[in-house]
């Protein structure tokens, strides 16, 4: 199928991915923009996993102050080269992550970072709620798993819907930047301060 330049431009503006990758995605998806966006996101995730082991010693620390000085966030995001760390895309990503943390107050970056005692407590609460509602034992475990999935989407930064575009998660946003830069990028750590807490 012949892909015209305006389609490639539209996909590039939507995703920020390079021209050749956009053209290939459109060819694979027979010119369907929405399918091509999904194709690129999946490809970005696959590329991100391949890069996961590479050293990230460069990056930025950004701050975000919100609500008239009542909430503040510091976040460190690392990448492989100082060249990428100085790009506008990288800077905007780090600022967006800091704003996300201020808005949503995650307890961890990913599932692996959630303290085991927090997970155990959440599971106990969900299981007792299900028992009190009279659900049979074999259904309780499924209910608990469903509620844990929702818990992760609220408590883990990478699984949260992105505040500027709830159609994607912060993890999707990160994978998009990884695909665009060709580098491993890691949200290393964050601290959120709220007046009075």
In tens, the pLDDT along 182-195 reads 888 999 999 999 98
| pLDDT score of 37 | 80
**Residue 189 three-state SS:** strand
Name, in order, each residue with C-beta under 8 angstroms of 18's C-beta and a sequence gap of 6 or more: 12, 180
Select from 78, 29, 2, 1 the least CA-distant residue to 15. Answer: 29
Tell me, yes or no, whether 97 and 189 share the same domain.
yes
Compare 119 and 136 and report the one with higher pLDDT: 119
| pLDDT score of 136 | 82
Structurally, the chain folds into a number of domains equal to 3
Distance, CA of 50 to chain centre? 17
Structure confidence at residue 73 as a pLDDT band (50, 70, 90): very high
Compare 185 and 9 and report the one with higher pLDDT: 185
The dihedral built from the CA positions of residue 47, 101, 162 and 158, taken in this order, carries a sign that is: positive
Tell me, yes or no, whether 70 and 164 share the same domain.
yes
In this structure, are residues 186 and 56 in contact, taking their beta carbons and an 8 Å threshold? Answer: yes
| pLDDT score of 28 | 87
Residue 100 has pLDDT above 80, yes or no: yes
| pLDDT score of 104 | 95
Tell me, yes or no, whether 28 and 65 share the same domain.
no
| pLDDT score of 15 | 67
Structure confidence at residue 2 as a pLDDT band (50, 70, 90): confident
CATH number for the domain spanning 13: value is 1.10.8.10
Compare 56 and 138 and report the one with higher pLDDT: 138
Alpha carbon separation from 62 to 66, 95, 138, 147, 161 (Å, rounded): 13, 6, 47, 33, 21
Q: Where are the beta strands (DSSP E) in the chain?
A: 58-66, 71-79, 161-162, 165-169, 186-194
Name, in order, each residue with C-beta under 8 angstroms of 184's C-beta and a sequence gap of 6 or more: 48, 51, 52, 53, 54, 55, 56, 79, 80, 178
CATH number for the domain spanning 97: value is 3.30.479.20
The tokens for 23 are 């053209």
Tell me, yes or no, whether 66 and 128 share the same domain.
no
Select from 38, 156, 42, 152 the least CA-distant residue to 107. Answer: 156
In tens, the pLDDT along 124-171 reads 999 888 888 888 888 888 889 999 999 999 999 999 999 999 999 999
The mean predicted confidence, pLDDT, of the chain is 87
C-alpha 159/C-alpha 148 separation (Å) is 12
């Amino acid at each position: 199928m012949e892909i015209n330049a305006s389609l490639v431009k539209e996909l590039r503006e939507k995703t920020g991915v390079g021209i050749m990758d956009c053209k290939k995605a459109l060819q694979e998806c027979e010119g369907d923009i929405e399918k091509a966006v999904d194709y690129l996101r999946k490809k970005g995730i696959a590329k991100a996993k391949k890069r996961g082991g590479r050293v990230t010693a460069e990056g930025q620390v950004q701050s975000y102050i919100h609500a008239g000085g009542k909430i503040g966030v510091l976040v460190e995001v690392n990448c492989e080269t100082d060249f990428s760390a100085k790009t506008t895309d990288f800077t905007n990503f780090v600022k967006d992550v800091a704003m996300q943390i201020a808005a949503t107050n995650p307890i961890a970056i990913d599932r692996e970072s959630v303290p085991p005692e927090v997970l155990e407590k959440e599971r106990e609460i969900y299981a007792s709620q299900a028992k009190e509602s009279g659900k049979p034992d074999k259904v309780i475990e499924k209910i608990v798993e469903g509620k844990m999935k929702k818990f992760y989407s609220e408590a883990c930064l990478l699984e949260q819907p992105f505040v500027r575009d709830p159609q994607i998660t912060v993890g999707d946003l990160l994978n998009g930047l990884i695909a665009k830069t060709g580098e491993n990028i890691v949200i290393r750590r964050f601290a959120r301060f709220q007046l009075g807490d």
